[in-house]
Amino acid sequence: MNLPFSAYTSSFAQARKRLHVAATGNFNRSGGALANPPRRALLKGTVSLLALSGCASTLLSACGGEYTGGDGAQDAPTPVIGSVANFRDLGGAAPGYSTSDGAHVRRALIYRSDALAPNAADAATLERMALSNVYDLRTPAEIDAAPDLTPSTASYLALNVLGTLEPPSFAGMLAGELDAAMQMHWRTLVTGRMQCSIYGSLLEHIADAPGPLLITGGAGVDVVGWACALLLLIANVPLEIIVKDFMLTDAWRSTGVDSANLTPPVQASYLQAAFDAVQGSYGDLNRYLTVGLGLAPETVNRLRGRLVV
């Protein structure tokens, strides 16, 4: 499969004009090679903090909980799970994020959130959603401190993306030092052997698992953010939409810079660092998916088939 990225160059060029420039389970995987599109940078430059721009409220309503019309899963409003930080639908609001080739991201299939610790009312809502799988991408220490309260309908799978017992500490770092440290961690999400293995396992499982699914993570290094960016890239969503969706994390959970830096705001530069690592280490997304993550072309085909409508 050759992922159709031809629309990305013009799409992102238009985005740069619109936006201010300042954004432990194991599975067997078979390798394979995809026909590679021409080498190009996935993202050049950074994007201003979208929460401060005029498009923030529009995209906020597009990403969960405020849509009120239509019938069926594709048109239904995203369930509001207010007691769980950063809970939202990967596909945005109806009719789903547009792709560069005229399709839409399927809604009510994949959700994302921080640690799953709902109150009683939200736990009942999650039960009614009939989630089939919950993928927890946190470290063991994070899981021990706040275990995911998994609905009875769902299988639970812990996938320690960082490969460490606990998340990294950013205590005492000032803004510039914190930004550099986070960029380093985001590059490692792309280049690290453990990270490639876990993300490959996650995507392979999603390709075949019945939906709906939920991916959970912590509030430090946004391991779920990269998983969601990858899924949207596979669905061929334009880059500016992926960046905007990523930046909404600050609106959907409590963030702030304090002496411990426990919940630092996300920055577009983190996603930039990951995109640059894909470009620098693999040349393009196809090679990253097959060589880096070990996904067979057929698996990528199944993923995209599930992600778009």
Number of separate domains in the chain? 1
Q: H/E/C letters for each residue in 56-117?
A: HHHHHHHCCCCCCCCCCCCCCCCCCCCCCCCCEECCCCCCCCECCCCCEECCCCEEEECCCC
pLDDT of residue 259: 62
C-alpha pair distances (Å), 184 with each of 124, 256, 277? 39, 20, 10
Domain of residue 158, residue span = 8-307
Does the residue 274 lie in any domain?
A: yes
Does the residue 50 lie in any domain?
A: yes
Residue 122 has pLDDT above 80, yes or no: yes
Of 41-50, 138-147, 280-289, the range with the lowest mean pLDDT is: 41-50
What CATH number is given to the structural domain containing 241? Answer: 3.90.190.10
Residue 218 has pLDDT above 60, yes or no: yes
Mean pLDDT, range 262-270, rounded to an integer = 82
C-alpha–C-alpha distance, residues 286 and 34, integer Å: 6
C-alpha–C-alpha distance, residues 308 and 103, integer Å: 6
Q: Which residues contact 272 (CB under 8 A, 6 or more apart)?
A: 23, 43, 45, 46, 183
Residue 54 has pLDDT above 70, yes or no: no
> Quick one: pLDDT band at residue 72, thresholds 50, 70, 90?
confident
Does the residue 58 lie in any domain?
A: yes
**Of 186 and 72, which is predicted with more confidence?**
186
Of 15-24, 87-96, 213-222, 284-293, the range with the lowest mean pLDDT is: 15-24
Residue 123 has pLDDT above 90, yes or no: yes
Residue 204 has pLDDT above 90, yes or no: yes
Percentage of the chain modeled with pLDDT above 70: 74
**Tokens standing for residue 116:** 């799953």
pLDDT of residue 254: 60
pTM for the structure as a whole: 0.79
**Short-list 162, 126, 166, CA closest to 145:** 166
Does the residue 1 lie in any domain?
A: no
Does the residue 66 lie in any domain?
A: yes
Give the Cα-Cα-Cα angle 297, 223, 141 (nearest 5 degrees). Answer: 125
> Quick one: pLDDT band at residue 6, thresholds 50, 70, 90?
very low
> Quick one: pLDDT band at residue 146, thresholds 50, 70, 90?
very high
C-alpha–C-alpha distance, residues 244 and 217, integer Å: 19
Are the beta carbons of 281 and 289 closer than 8 angstroms? no
Of 199-203, 217-221, 303-307, the range with the lowest mean pLDDT is: 217-221
**Of 65 and 212, which is predicted with more confidence?**
212
Does the residue 2 lie in any domain?
A: no
The owner of tokens 């985001």 is 186
pLDDT of residue 267: 87
Residue 141 has pLDDT above 70, yes or no: yes
Is-cis flag, bond preceding 212, omega within 30? yes
* Strand 213-216, strand 133-136: pairing: parallel
Are the beta carbons of 263 and 75 closer than 8 angstroms? no
Does the residue 3 lie in any domain?
A: no
Residue 197 has pLDDT above 90, yes or no: yes
C-alpha–C-alpha distance, residues 105 and 198, integer Å: 23
> Quick one: pLDDT band at residue 165, thresholds 50, 70, 90?
very high
pLDDT of residue 104: 96
